[in-house]
Amino acid sequence: MRLFIALDLPASVRDRLTMVQGGLPGARWVAPESLHLTLRFVGDASHDMAEDLVAALSRVRASAFDLTLGGMGLFGDRRRARMLWVGTEPSAPLRHLQAKIEQAAQSTGLGAEHRKFHPHVTIARLKDAPRSRLEGFIADHGGLYLPPFTVDGFTLFRSHLGSEGARYEPLVEFELDRLQESVAAMP
């Protein structure tokens, strides 16, 4: 099975992101229910590896935190962009959570992730999108900033690849500690 670990976005955030989708030739827009922020790609894993991963992830301890999505960019080279994404404002708690998840993944025997963590939500996959239209789209929508939302957990997903694109199945949800709320409520 093909696995990855991600933040499943609240419906209000997904709705806001889908409002900017459209009007770009060559873009295959990500379905609202598939929008997520990947924390660690796992890839193909056996059932035993998946069980070990679930056990390791259940030991991850981090506090819930607020996250703001904003800004827009591209992955790919200058001549051929492959993905259009919305980024995040800098977030130490997000980086802390991702590092904990990376440690948990490596503890199960997975190799280290060699790509630098670049938190983002892919909103479109691109194929032959005209560069001028792409630059215009980013100029029009690149100032997008969404209200902060609370990240109170993360999810292990299974990816089902098909002719219509990938479909993501949540397998296990992991909760983050509510320590920040209880400390803030103290007199």
pLDDT for residue 108? 96
- Kindly report the number of other CB atoms within 10 A of residue 174's CB atom: 17
Residue 179, C-beta contacts closer than 8 angstroms, at least 6 positions apart: 63, 64
Q: Write the CA distances from 31 to 90, 104, 168, integer angstroms.
A: 26, 29, 11
pLDDT for residue 183? 47
Give the tokens for residue 108. 């199960």
Q: Please report, in tens digits, the pLDDT of each residue of the chain (187 residues total).
A: 999 999 999 999 999 999 999 999 999 999 999 999 999 999 999 999 999 999 999 999 999 999 999 999 999 876 788 999 999 999 999 999 999 999 999 999 999 998 899 999 999 999 988 888 998 999 999 899 999 999 999 999 999 988 777 889 999 999 999 854 444 554 5
Residue 128, classed as helix, strand or coil, is coil
Strand order in the sheet with 165-175: 36-44, 2-8, 153-162, 165-175
Which residue in 30, 9, 13, 8 sits closest to 21, CA to CA? 30
- Which residues, listed in sequence order, are joined to residue 27 by a DSSP beta bridge? 126
pLDDT for residue 164? 74
Residue 92, C-beta contacts closer than 8 angstroms, at least 6 positions apart: none
CA distance 13 to 121: 11
What pTM, to 2 d.p., does this model score? 0.90
